Amino acid sequence: MQWLKRAVLIIVLLLVALATLDFMLENQQHVTLQFLELRSLALPISLFIVIAFISGSLIGILIGWLITTRLRLRLRVQNNELSRHRKEIDKLRTQAIKG
């Protein structure tokens, strides 16, 4: 079953790579972007779009990683607190039995 997942992943990645290559080959018009009086070099429009897509993907991955790390830290703190409370409950139970 593992080999099937790997094969499907490879096929999907190849299809994405071929679609990206086709997109880049069909959109070769050179454009210049301007933002706040800054101008870019005249490059193919497909290059700008692919760079924007890759940048957005990387930013999304980074934000997801930061959120996951924050949640894991919060979970660790809560697990430590839960462990401390369980120890205190066990201690109180043994005191109530002895008393």
4 band by pLDDT with thresholds 50, 70 and 90: confident
Q: What's the whole-number mean pLDDT along residues 74-85? A: 96
pLDDT in tens, 20-38: 888 888 888 888 888 898 8
Predicted TM-score (pTM) of the model is 0.62
Task: Provide the token pair at 27.
Answer: 């959109």
Structurally, the chain folds into a number of domains equal to: 1
Strand-pair partners of 31: 43
Domain range for residue 40? 2-98
- Which helix (H) or strand (E) segment holds residue 60: the answer is helix 45-98
In whole angstroms, give the CA distance from residue 22 to residue 46: 10
DSSP for 6-37, please give it.
Answer: HHHHHHHHHHHHHHHHHHHHH---EE--EETT
